[in-house]
Structure 1
Amino acid sequence: MGTHIWPGAKVKVAQFFNNNHIFPPILGIGSAFAEALAICFTACVFFDFPISLGLICGFVVATVSPAVGMPTMLHLKEQGIGTTKNIPDVVPAACCFDNFVSLFIFSVTSSITYTHDAFFATMVKSIGAIVLAALIGCVIGWLLRWFPKNDNRHTHFARFLVIASSAYAVITSMLVLGYAFPGIVAALCLCCVSTTQWREDNPRGIKVLVHQFDNLWYFVAVPLLFSLVGYTFDFNQLSLADWKTAFILIVVGSSFRLISAMILAFCGHFNIYEQLILALTLMPKATVQCALAPSLIFMTNGFPELREQTKLINSIATTLLIFISLYISIITLLGENFLNPLADHPVTTTNEDITVRTIFVIFILLVAGIFAAKGSKALRLPPLFGCLALGIVIRNITIFEQFFVFPPFVETMIRKVALAMIVIRWGLATDVQFLYENAVMPVTIGLVTAIGEIIAVTIASYYILNTSFVMSIFCALILVIVSPAVTVPAMISFKDKNLGSLKRIPENILAICCVDNLFCVVVFMVLSSIIFTDAPIATTILLNAGTIVFGVIGGVIIGWLLWRFPRSDAPHTQFARITLLGALCISMMIGTYLIKYSCSGFLAALITSAMCAMKWNTDNKDKLESVTSTYKYLWDSFALPLLFICLGMKFDCSTLTWEIVFLCIAVIAIGLLVRTILVMMITLSSHINFKEQVVVALSLLPRATFQADLAPTLVLMAAPFPDMAKDAALIMKAAILSVLVTAPIFDILLNLVGSKCLTRYDSKDTPAIEQNLDKSYMNGDHVDDSIYAARPKSYSEYRSETVIERY
């Protein structure tokens, strides 16, 4: 009760509002709505609150506490600070409006929510009760203006008893009738109206009355109120997720309150320091939260159907995300203006013919590529080999070359969509937990061997191919990237046959490929954005560093959003997840490529996919099977054929000589030799035997997927620079030869050697071996050799059950 009598007694309503009737309500109500709606949106969208409970939570948390701001304002007023612009009076008035509006919405929303009666009837009854209570409070306050008279003995003590007992009677009686907030409104009106007369009818005004309520508040109400609230606070019932949710809601609400209050204060012609004071005094929470929050616990019981509202909110948000992501991805694919995609284009017969021809050519290439991939697979060769060979045949037969022609922009978009498919499958296959727990061996082998091969290939291409030093670095970055399209299927085969499972050979190889690919691709993208530009190097480096940080943060945020949308128990969850992930990753990668900062989009797409895999693999019974199988089908049936056919169509045999072929193969061989030697040397320090070292080395030698995208990208970027364009064309030939040579040879060798060199473990001996299991061999520590006597099935399936199968 004291919470509501106190502000009512201290605010000079009649005097101040007559002169300042616009700014205080705007400040109080505007900032309150900004904070409450921000909390409501965050709670409903990100933490699955029912919309009605989110609204209640927003206005309960947003309500300003007069117990904190009022004493400060009174102290400032006594010292004459801020009185020129009436700041000590503005804040209490704004708090009054803030409290009234917040409590009004809380009351109406809770009365509608926690009832089984009709919505409209309940709302009308609640609003009517508030209006009636306000009238009752005003009438009682008007009567109290004259009782007792100001010339009686003990006038102030009598007035204290009258106003306290009247307010208490109004609040408790309305509470008994089931109208808690109308009682508060009546008490607030009672106090405001009655004190308008008491301020003027005696020399001491209401100072004595205020002092009496101060003592009652500090010595009685505060200890009881906060001790009772603290008594209901049970740490054992609060999880880490509860703390995180509460912290995020408070931070979001306070941020919006601070920003909105400063903006509104700026409109009121206050300087920056006064804006900050006004905003900070509207941020503390205490009394109202302690009075109202416990009542929610009792009101919420018996209404489990409120949780159903979260599904509707999640479905609406998911639908909006899908449409937005599809819009962005389609706009970027078509190269249209983002804000005005329907801008008029000159439509001619030639343009229409080119469009129809392009669609028809792509369709024929897709069908032919699928047949070529199937035929190559039937010959025990990688499917990409057949598609690449088909592209080379088309490029070097005049009739086919003249027929299969489409615009360069279309080819670029095909390659970027295919790269997006690679990145999505790569992210879904990445076991972040495994990398975190066993990072030493994968990171060491991935980085050291990649850097060593880059140095070797750079020197070899500089002296053998006679390319410039910069282009030699680009050549090395393209030729050293390991292809997951060859290595991963072999790892799946080994896992199915229980080969190398105890030492986690397949998982370690996948982790090594992940580190190798990430390092080489990021360095290539950053270096290309620095070299192929006319801007100052320092500026370009800073911009790239900023975009990389932005890409990482954006990937984390988008991945976290996809944890929430759609819900795991919503209908068509897998379809929504597939659409959202694909559209978002494509739009990020192509959009950043078009603005010439492709590294940020690449990192954002990779992090988003990896984060999705972390959550989606545990929140539903299907795990990632539907998502990974869909993207595997899209890669095998669409992306892979078109990507490698487009790469093969860049290989012009008429400009090729045997000298160039042998020189390119020599450069490739030097890099592969250095990679093999480094892998063998590094793995000597780990607990992997010689045969397993050979398998690890062979798995890092195939080249295919990234060469198919990065080499044409380099040619496209080097085209405006004549000195570099010639070297880029030579690097393209070397990349194609590396795919033709390494993909089929090392695919056959890897499957053959792996089946011979890796030990097959028998699950029958699982109990005996599990006693000796130790993860220390991952970091090269010594372990007992007896643990490798047989394969414990349960341990090998600890993480490998889904890591490899995601590809």
Structure 2
Amino acid sequence: MEVISGSQDPLFIHNTPDSHHAYVNAGLQLDGSTSTIAQSSVKSCSTITEDTEDLQAKQSDKSASSRGCCSSCLRSHSDLPDNPTTIQRIKYAFSCPPHGKIGDCLIWIVLCLALWGCLISITWEMALPGGKLFSLLLLYVMALLAGLMADFVGLPSLLGNLVMGILFSSIPGINALGHNIDIYYSSVLRNIALTIILIRAGLGLDPVALKKLSCTVLRLAFLPCLVETVTMGIASAFFLDLPWSWSLMLGFVVAAVSPAVVVPSLLRLSEEGYGVDQGIPTLVIAAASIDDVLAITGFSIMLGLTFAKGALIWTILEGPTGMVLGILCGIVFAILCWYLPYKEKTNRSTYKFVIIFSLSALAIFGSHRAELESSGPILVLTLAFVAGLGWRKLGTEDPEVCANYRFMWEIFQPILFASIGSEIDIGATDPGTIGWGMLALLIGVAFRIATSFVVVMGASLTAWERLFIAIAWLPKATVQAAIGSQALDHVLQHGGDDIDHIRGQQVVTLAVMAILLTAPLGAVAVRFAGPRLLAKCQPKP
């Protein structure tokens, strides 16, 4: 094969036999190369296809694994077995969507964050870290979390609220926030909580149960409370050198039983059938409300007498005058609530709730402004009881009203117990107050238990059942937290003497000690003693 002279292009070649063989050989080589390339391409494509399939398979496995992991976190895929272990309970508690205690905690966190944002927008510096409102809001959140933890381990949530308040003012570093809580705001919140307690106590008085168990209920409500008040008054006057007005006021503070601890435990026993045939849960629950009414009324009268000013005759008459005035005004307000809102009004229960709360708050705060502190609580109790009595007779009773107040109590309970706990600085508390105060409390509790055991002897109950009632009549919490700081608040707001400030601090300290001593002990004792001391009713065939 020769190239045409003068041309460098290999296409221009002579067509000779040699060139023909060359073409053929070149074509064979080209076909071989093409075949080789094609085979390589096919192999490459098949390899890529296999790699792609492997990658898709791995991604599918990862996706399935992710879906499996996510589905295991869903409550719909995490059914709790009949006898779950602790790990299974914890896993189920944190499953999504949020529910139970975790869901409640998240609800309150969102609400608190939203409230904090609103306060920052309105007050700015007061709601920022270091401000008075910020300290109060932080105390509320911490008390709420502590209450959930206490409830999780089987203790009353109010105990966690109280302990968190004490720690808030006692731990170095954190106590700077505790001491920064505004006294006025704290007092206002406690008075709102007291208003809710009084309304619930008044509405909770059942005339039918009182009539059925009148003698036994009245004996159980009045005698143990009065005996403990007098015993505590004498002991505190002797051990703590308190004047009689202060010592008796302290006696009424610590003498009240706590429905927040007693009622849930008794309802649980009642659902299980313990003591139902003898009417023990009904007896204790009905007497608890009257016991609280008596203690709060007595405290209000002694508070008015302790800080009364002016002539001696007015000092003597101020307590009874405030009591009569509170009862009369409460009856007038209650009659107004019988007919407003009218029967055909839509959302009637909501209007009832708002009207009663507004009138009750007016009574509490107005009595402080008028310096007739003893009349406010009595007015609220009378208003709630008479209003409930009239609604039952007129056929306009709405259960939603009590449910609304129960919800409000759940909101204000943490700040009530945490705020009174924050009044206690362990490092600054007199050891003598703790020691002698503890001795006085033990003496008062001992007399209370003995009296409770004796006063129900004529109610056709066995000795074991009477012992259970005496144990159930032990826990203290709600009333102590609500009124325990009233005297100290009065001294701080009216610029009292240093000695009155010390006495007010002693009353707060002993109120907190009474809660810490009796609330957990009473809750555990009622839960333990109920199935062992009470007879279980037999199911009807």
Amino acid at match of 1:361: S
Aligned to 2:478: 705
1:747 CA drift (Å): 0.8
SS for the counterpart of 2:371 is: coil
1:731 aligns with 2:480: no
1:380 CA drift (Å): 0.6
Change in 2 beyond 3 A, CA 1:603/1:431 = same
Change in 2 beyond 3 A, CA 1:492/1:646 = same
Change in 2 beyond 3 A, CA 1:362/1:657 = closer
Select 1:415's aligned residue among 190, 200, 213: 190
Amino acid at match of 1:512: A
Is this contact kept in 1: 2:253–2:480, CA < 8 A? yes
Select 1:556's aligned residue among 309, 331, 334: 331
1:538 aligns with 2:313: yes
Instruction: Point out which structure has higher relative CO (alpha carbons under 8 A, 6+ apart).
Output: 2
Is this contact kept in 1: 2:204–2:289, CA < 8 A? no
For 1:590 and 1:679, locate their aligned partners in 2 and report how far apart those are by CA, in whole Å.
35
For 1:572 and 1:624, locate their aligned partners in 2 and report how far apart those are by CA, in whole Å.
10
Select 2:441's aligned residue among 662, 668, 674: 668
Amino acid at match of 2:325: F
SS for the counterpart of 1:764 is: coil
1:721 aligns with 2:497: yes
For 1:359 and 1:617, locate their aligned partners in 2 and report how far apart those are by CA, in whole Å.
42
> Runs of 5+ in structure 2 lacking a partner?
1-122
User: Over the residues paired in the alignment, what is the CA RMSD in angstroms?
Assistant: 2.4
For 1:494 and 1:693, locate their aligned partners in 2 and report how far apart those are by CA, in whole Å.
16
Is this contact kept in 1: 2:199–2:380, CA < 8 A? yes
What number of residue pairs does the alignment pair up? 414
1:632 CA drift (Å): 1.3
1:446 CA drift (Å): 2.1
TM-score with structure 1 length normalisation? 0.49
Matches within 5 A, 1:426-441: 426-441=201-216
> Runs of 5+ in structure 1 lacking a partner?
1-350, 766-807
SS for the counterpart of 1:632 is: helix
Is this contact kept in 2: 1:446–1:512, CA < 8 A? yes
SS for the counterpart of 1:380 is: coil
Matches within 5 A, 1:125-136: none
Amino acid at match of 2:153: L
1:594 aligns with 2:374: no
| Bigger Cα Rg | 2
Q: Deviations over 1:505-524 (max 9, x none)?
A: 12221232233222222122
For 2:444 and 2:417, locate their aligned partners in 1 and report how far apart those are by CA, in whole Å.
23
1:747 aligns with 2:520: no
Matches within 5 A, 1:447-462: 447-462=222-237
Amino acid at match of 1:653: I
Select 2:137's aligned residue among 337, 358, 363: 363
1:500 CA drift (Å): 1.9
1:442 CA drift (Å): 1.6
Change in 2 beyond 3 A, CA 1:363/1:619 = farther
Matches within 5 A, 1:198-277: none
Amino acid at match of 1:639: F
SS for the counterpart of 2:484 is: helix
Q: Deviations over 1:322-373 (max 9, x none)?
A: xxxxxxxxxxxxxxxxxxxxxxxxxxxxx97347734433333322222221
1:715 CA drift (Å): 1.8
Aligned to 1:760: 536
Change in 2 beyond 3 A, CA 1:436/1:620 = closer
Change in 2 beyond 3 A, CA 1:495/1:562 = farther
1:353 aligns with 2:125: yes
Select 1:446's aligned residue among 221, 232, 240: 221
For 1:676 and 1:449, locate their aligned partners in 2 and report how far apart those are by CA, in whole Å.
8
Amino acid at match of 2:471: L
1:683 CA drift (Å): 1.8
For 2:255 and 2:506, locate their aligned partners in 1 and report how far apart those are by CA, in whole Å.
16
Select 1:499's aligned residue among 266, 274, 298: 274
1:717 CA drift (Å): 3.1
Select 2:420's aligned residue among 611, 622, 647: 647
SS for the counterpart of 2:145 is: helix
For 1:475 and 1:565, locate their aligned partners in 2 and report how far apart those are by CA, in whole Å.
39
For 2:538 and 2:332, locate their aligned partners in 1 and report how far apart those are by CA, in whole Å.
44
Matches within 5 A, 1:103-252: none
Change in 2 beyond 3 A, CA 1:601/1:661 = closer
For 1:567 and 1:763, locate their aligned partners in 2 and report how far apart those are by CA, in whole Å.
43
Amino acid at match of 2:154: R
For 1:499 and 1:593, locate their aligned partners in 2 and report how far apart those are by CA, in whole Å.
44
Select 1:677's aligned residue among 444, 450, 455: 450
Structure 1 range deviating more: 456-465 or 655-664: 655-664
For 2:220 and 2:245, locate their aligned partners in 1 and report how far apart those are by CA, in whole Å.
25
For 2:326 and 2:245, locate their aligned partners in 1 and report how far apart those are by CA, in whole Å.
26
Aligned to 2:407: 633
TM-score with structure 2 length normalisation? 0.72
Q: Deviations over 1:773-796 (max 9, x none)?
A: xxxxxxxxxxxxxxxxxxxxxxxx
Is this contact kept in 2: 1:456–1:674, CA < 8 A? yes
1:762 CA drift (Å): 2.8
For 1:555 and 1:448, locate their aligned partners in 2 and report how far apart those are by CA, in whole Å.
26
For 1:581 and 1:497, locate their aligned partners in 2 and report how far apart those are by CA, in whole Å.
35
Select 2:263's aligned residue among 488, 500, 509: 488
Aligned to 1:53: none
For 2:470 and 2:316, locate their aligned partners in 1 and report how far apart those are by CA, in whole Å.
34
Aligned to 2:94: none
Matches within 5 A, 1:383-394: 383-394=157-168
